[in-house]
Structure formats: C-alpha cells, structure tokens
A and B are shown apart, each in its own frame.
Chain A
C-alpha cells in the first residue's frame, strides 16, 4: 500500500483525552473536509472511520500486486475550488491530471470522439454530421451558461421556501435576486432542463446516435432512471458543471487515483490538528439532554463532543446511528423513504497489455481519455429496461478509463489498469446478489467490451467485480448508490435529504449532516462537508 494514498492509523494508538470539540463520522472526502474546516476554526476534532484506510468511496487500493485502482469513484470533476484553496490541497499533494477526451466506439468500427479542444471536437463531429457539428457549438454554450447559472446555487445553503426564518428569507432573496439577474431565456432553459428527460433535450439538438447516447449517459449516472425518464436532463447538467471550471483543472484524473485526493485532504486535516482514527466503527450517537453529546463505537469506546457531524449516508446517519426516539416521526419517515437504490457497479481490470480497440488501433491520445460504451440512446434505454425488472443490463452502459495511460504509476511498466463504471446493476437484483451472479455480471462486462476490444480477455491478469451490494459492504453506503441517494428532483436542493432539514442541521441539536446525501449531492465535490462544518460553527458562536 502506497503510504501517500491510504495511511492506516492503528486504532488503539495513544488515545488522547476522549473529549473533543467535534467528532466527525466517516473519513470520506466530505467527512475529512468538514473536520479540516472545524479544526481551522480552532476546534479539537476527531474523525472516526470504520475501515482501516481513509477515503471512503474515494480510495486507491492495490487490489492486485503492482496494480492500483481507484476502487470506486474514479474521476474528479466538482471538487470545489474554494476548498482546494482553503485547505491548501496542492501543497498537500493534490494533482489533477487532464482527461482530454471521450471516445464512443461505434458498431460499424468507427468511433466518435469529443475533445477538450473546441475546434477538434467540432472537426470530429463534422466528420459524422455537419449539422450536429454546428448544433454542438451552440449546445455547449447553452449548457455552459445554464451550468454557470446553476453553479452559484450549489454553493448556497438551500433556503426553505416555507420557512419564515431570517436566514431562509435572506437566502431566498439572494436566490431571487440572482434569478432576476439571469436573462429570461436562461430562466426558461433552466426550467426546461430540470423537467425534461435527457433524451428529449438531446433530440432537440442532435441527430448522431453515438453523440446522443454518450451525452444522455451522463444524465443517468448514479440514478435509477433511463435516458427517457423525466428529470435526467438536470443530472446531465449536474455533470456538465465540472466542465465550466475546466480551465482551473478541477476536472480530471487525480494523480495516484481518487485516493490521491483524499490523501491530500487527510494530510491537510492532520496538519490542522485533526485526529483521524481508522478501524473505528460507530455504533451510536450518544444523546444527553436532548442533544448529541458524543459517539459510542462498536467496540464500546466512547468519545464525547458538543458537535457530532455525520458524513455517512442519510439512512445510516439517521436510522442506524440515532435512536428513533430522538427524531420526529415525520423526519424518520422521510429518511426511510429516501431513495438510495444503487444502480451501478464497477469492474476493475488488471491487464498485461493495452486493450486494442478495433476502432483505435495502436496507442494514441484517445486512450488517455474516457471510453464510453453508449452507441445510442436506445442502447442505454434498453440497458435500463433490464434493470427496471430487477436484472443487470445484458448490454450495459459503461464509462471506461485506462488510468495507467494517464498516470504510469498505476500499473507495472507495460501493463495497464482499466476502470469500468457499469450501469445498470440494480442493488435489489432479482433473487439477490451472490457470487455466481457477480461472476455473471463480470462476464457480461468483459463480453460487452470484447466486442470493441478483442484482445481484452486474454490480457486480463486480475479482475475485481464490484456490485452495489459490494459498494454497500466495503464503502458503507446504504443501497450502494454512488451519490448516497438518487439525484431525483424530489431529493434535491431544499428537499435533500428532507424538507426543512437541508441546511446541514438535523432535528437532533448538535448533530450535523454533511455528505452526498445532503445538498448539493454527489461527486467528489466536498461542498456538503464544508457547508455542514460552517453550520456547526455558526451554531457554536
């Protein structure tokens, strides 16, 4: 295990006083970011992590000797620039390498590529469809404008429109003023974007199947929806937001994998005095006098603090860690109904040679980017059809990268690692997940890829298949949903995770909630962790 990536701390290491100002549950990126912000404000902070390594779903692990994988989350797109600055992450080793392209192999042996260069992308689309090449120009601008319009909202504590509190009114006013500053056209577009399906949106613009399929695919990632389901256009926009900070390199592949990001965050947090304890599984939040007062571990150890902040998923945070007697029924019910159905799996492959894609002979620049198995909207929708009835997709959508092409340190010289995000793989698969089903899922992924890269199978030297059940088991995310809760319209903004409780506070005073299940949602973004820490600090004043 590379030390910089996953630093294990012996759980029984000299426990200092068991009294802290703040305890954070979970050493994922959000938890450690929250801890760092609390420590920055002078608090004595303890982070408790169930696993032996930090990082949560943003970890790099050497699954096979010499081959390192971003086991779950594999690209960085939305890490907030202010967090990078405030926590001095570059000084602590954060390096984001460019991911310059996306290529979609086509069934006729050709491919469609998208580049981080406007002119190159235009040229490539033009090769297939002059009409789409022109539409693409305007589409990118319209989406970038919409993303820019929505982005400030992401950094804002979501105001509750039904509340009359000063803070909410101020927030609403700020939002209204911001809304008024947008052009009428932008407002219309945004309203359309949040209600449309990504297929409807894309069909208004394009005719090329691989282009529509690939763009539509980013509207379904982490959802249990198909490209023809309403609401997916918003998810597409959600992912698009990574692109407007492109110039600041907030989008890309982290050096040493995604664990490189959390290693930098952990290093920054430790430098600020945060104590991170691994192998420390939380059993319960201790409640005294109607307030969160500390945390009891599964091994019986207890730690006390006036602030307890959970960076676990909503179900764990509110249904497992806290006894229901401390929370209002309505809140508990909302969390119980919060949809966290995992819909994707991950297949990590160690390879003795570079996959030879029929459409990309040799080794070229497109191997350094994403490879998208999404030949058409229908292909992706059919993949969804299987999932609707509880099966994994017979021909799944995949977002593949070859990290060893971007960072040579990920695999032994001449060898490669391949990361395949695979959708759909339902958490609640018919008959339940077992080893045979996991193997069959892995085989489907290999068979699907093999159609485009015939040498793949014989190059495999190691195969790790991760189902949503495995995500739940290993990373501790209930339901195995990569966003801790689906990005559905009724689970976003002031409704995330529950109405009236989108401001990172919870019905249990002293208990805060700052992870992907809170506003503004998933991705290695860090906003929820930062905003939750700020809420706690505001209350402590």
Chain B
C-alpha cells in the first residue's frame, strides 16, 4: 500500500470519538454521520430496525461522546447556573440531574441539555452546541471555573429495558437503586465512571460518563456483560426514531437556537417548545430571559410544540387513489412538512417518523395559537407519486410513547 500523502492527514477530517476503534470495526455499511464535528455511526446495519428494537426490547449501546460537556465548579457555580437557566438550581441535589433549556435575554432558547450536580460546588453541563463563550460572558464577577471537557470525557448511552440488568452485572455497585434523573459514581472494568439514569430515547436507560482514555475497556466490558441480554451497538438513526416517540426535540432540527437564527421569527421560547415545566418563575432572583418569559407567560405563547398522529386510513386513501399501498420512509425524516387547518397553514412538522412500537406515522410539530390544543384535527402535507396531498392528522400530547418501566 502506498504511503498516505499529506492529503490524508487526519486533521483534515472530522474528529473521531474515543470509541472509534470499536465502532469503525462494526460499522460495515460505512453509514457515517456528522455530529458535533465528529464522525459517528448512522447505523451498523443496512437498515435501522434491528437497532431500533434493541432500544425498545433489549439494550442499545450508543456512542454519545460528541455531546458538548462543561464542568462548572467553585463557590458560585450554583449561582451562575441559577442565573443562566430558568430552573431553580439551588434545589438541585448532589447526585441529581436536571434537564433544561437556556435562553437569551429575549427569552428565546439558545440550547438545551442536562445539568448534573456532581458535588456541592461542582456541576456538569451538556449541550448540543459550544457554550463556553456564553458561560464565560455570564460568569464575570462569579467565583467559578468553567472547563470545556468535551474531548476529555467519553460518553455511552445504554438504553432499553435490559440496560439495568446489564449494568448490575458489570458495575462495581448495582444501579438498581438509582432513580430517574439521578447520577452516582461507579466503576466499570476497573475504571471510575459516573452513571446517570438519563437518555434520549424515552425508555429505561443510563448514560455512562468516563475519562476518554477508559473508553475502550468500558465498551468491551459492557458488550461482554450485555451479550446474553441482546446488547446491540446502535447508531444515531435508530436513536432519532426513538427520541421522536419520546417527544424529545433536537437543536437545529426542531428548533433554531437564538444564536443561529437569521431572522427573529426563527427563534423559539421554552414555552413554545413545551418546556414550560422547566421555567420556574417562582424562583428567587434574576435569570437570563426572565422578564421576557414572564411576559410570555402572562400573554400566552404564539406557538406550541405538539405531537401529530397521522391517520393511517387517510394515508391509505391518498395512496389507493394512485393504486399504491401507503409508503413512508423507514426512518426519521428531518424535513419540514406544512400543517393546515381548514385550508390555511397553521404550522409545520419538523421531524416525522414511522413508529414501529406504536405502528403509527407520527411527527413533532409547531402549531400556531389557537390550533395547538390536543385532539384538534389538522392535515399534514404528504407527497404521493410526486403530487402534494393532504393527510388527516390529530394533535396529541407528548410523549407518544412512555413505557411504564421508564421511570420505575
């Protein structure tokens, strides 16, 4: 084999995650995707269904290392996060995890992620996009240290009903007692890890955080321990279907973060995204966006993020008219579909997918007031044999799917 030329320098390619040595061996279809500047597996199979069913039936092992990660520590760490997010961070216990969005001063979402209280004065923040500058700008006058630890910390998501059993089999201490949105230090393959009961699938699941150097032994240990339970390496395409069923949105797909918006109309508030439950207007003191969010809370929101269930009979009729059975993509589609009511556009669906577990065609959608109430009948645009048609759909509350074992 000829020597690689300067053209092949890895620096001229996307970053590889700490699990690349394993994932690249398994990704035989070469279905690679881009996530947070990293090369990640789209699917390990030619199709996504086996990986999807691993999430819902067994356990799926997903490399989520590209998530942006920050460590915030110091006497004022809690105060800083209290100022930055609409949640009451002083109520966040050590070992607890909050999911939250955070806003600019106009009350529009900048990003969303989790905040884990690692200690009295130490937090880990995850985000989809770089936030260091934003954190540093807001940290002026606070006694805190903000560390960007994205590349130092590797992360695996183990999702599915068997995830607990697998972890109990290989972790130094059992995770059985770990409640939903809690975190505890543990050890795996002799390596120190922290395990949080969190995920992006709406199933029972855990996320395992480790030093990047420990990535491969931890992966190997989990794969070995999970073998009997059907553990399956899973790419982000199957996860994308599961997160729609769970009613979870994605930055840049389901909403435009305030810093990316070209025009004001592209921005969304937490209320509009269904995150009203994370906005604690009763909390003490100022937080970024507070006044705008108070105004919106009083006046009501112009938009709401809802679920859409497309009526199958309506799809069948539209396809039967051209002599075909219904045809929809076998994976989640990140493309905008107009939503109409009585012939007028009242919103748009931002991600749609076939839900294998519900046997339904579902979508995450933005609807204008007053059309966003549950059970409202609307139509969604579909393309049948190159022609635009309308399929009947119904607004439902999110999530679409929530197994009883998710929080048990």
Contact = CB atoms under 8 A, between A and B. Distances in A.
B12 A365 contact: yes
Interface string B10-21: 011111000000
Interface of B: 5-7, 9, 11-15, 34, 37, 129-134, 136, 148, 259-260, 262, 264
B12 A120 contact: yes
B15 A364 contact: no
A124 B14 CA distance: 10
A249 interface: no
A134 B14 contact: no
B4 to A, nearest CB: 10
B147 to A, nearest CB: 9
Contact of A364 (B5, B136, B259): B5
Return the 7 tightest CB-CB contacts between A and B, nearest first.
A364-B6, A119-B37, A362-B6, A134-B132, A134-B130, A134-B133, A135-B133
Contacts of B134: 138
Interface string A252-282: 0000000000000000000000000000000
Interface stretch (A125-133, A294-302, A317-325, A411-419): A125-133
A8 B39 CA distance: 52
A107 interface: no
Given A133-B130, A134-B130, A360 B11 contact: no
Contact of B262 (A130, A138, A148, A361): A148
A364 B12 contact: yes
Given A123-B11, A364-B7, A364-B12, A134 B37 contact: no
A145 B262 contact: yes
A130 B148 CA distance: 8
Given A135-B132, A148-B262, A361-B6, 12 more contacts: A120-B14, A122-B130, A123-B11, A123-B14, A123-B37, A130-B132, A133-B130, A134-B133, A137-B133, A138-B133, A138-B134, A364-B7
A458 interface: no
Contact of A183 (B11, B34, B264): B264
A541 interface: no
A124 B260 contact: no
9 contacts: A122-B37, A122-B130, A123-B15, A133-B130, A134-B133, A137-B133, A145-B262, A361-B6, A362-B5
Contact of A131 (B11, B15, B37, B132): B132
Interface string A347-362: 0000000000000111
A141 interface: yes
A122 B132 CA distance: 13
Interface in A132-176: 133-135, 137-138, 141, 145, 148
Nearest to A360: B6
B11 A124 contact: yes
Given A363-B5, A364-B9, A119 B130 contact: no
B259 A134 contact: no
A300 B14 CA distance: 65
B11 A141 contact: no
A370 B282 CA distance: 55
B6 A141 contact: no
Contacts of A363: 5-7
Interface residues of A, number: 23
Contacts of B5: 362-364
A134 B136 CA distance: 11
A137 B264 contact: no
Contacts of B11: 123-124, 127
A254 to B, nearest CB: 24
B267 to A, nearest CB: 10
Contacts of B14: 119-120, 123
Nearest to A135: B133
Nearest to A121: B37
Contacts of B9: 364
Contacts of B260: 141
A135 to B, nearest CB: 5
Contacts of A122: 37, 130
SS class of chain A's interface: helix, strand, loop or mixed?
helix
Q: Which of B131, B132, B136, B260 has the most CB of A within 10 A?
A: B132
A134 B135 CA distance: 11
Nearest to A124: B11
Contacts of A124: 11
Contacts of B12: 120, 364-365
A120 B13 CA distance: 7
A360 B9 CA distance: 11
B14 to A, nearest CB: 6
Nearest to A363: B6
A138 B131 CA distance: 10
A133 B148 CA distance: 11
A205 B371 CA distance: 43
Nearest to A367: B6
Nearest to A144: B262
Contacts of A362: 5-6
B266 to A, nearest CB: 11
A360 B11 CA distance: 12
Contact of B259 (A135, A141, A148, A360): A141
A137 B6 contact: no
A133 B14 CA distance: 15
Contacts of A120: 12-14
B7 A137 contact: no
Contacts of B136: 131
B259 A138 contact: yes
A137 B11 CA distance: 18
Contacts of B148: 130, 134
B153 to A, nearest CB: 14
Nearest to B12: A365
B121 to A, nearest CB: 22
A183 B133 CA distance: 21
Interface string A167-195: 00000000000000001000000000000
Contact of A137 (B13, B34, B130): B130
Contacts of B131: 134
Nearest to A131: B132
A365 B148 CA distance: 30
A127 B37 CA distance: 13
A336 B9 CA distance: 54
Contacts of B259: 138, 141
B7 to A, nearest CB: 5
Contacts of A134: 130-133, 148
A194 B44 CA distance: 52
A123 B15 CA distance: 7
A510 B130 CA distance: 57
Nearest to B130: A134
A187 to B, nearest CB: 13
Contacts of B34: 119
A137 B129 contact: yes
Contacts of B7: 363-365
Contacts of A119: 14-15, 34, 37
Interface string A460-472: 0000000000000
Q: Which of A127, A141, A148 has the most CB of B within 10 A?
A: A141
A138 B5 CA distance: 33
Contacts of A135: 132-133
Q: Which of B34, B37, B134 has the most CB of A within 10 A?
A: B37
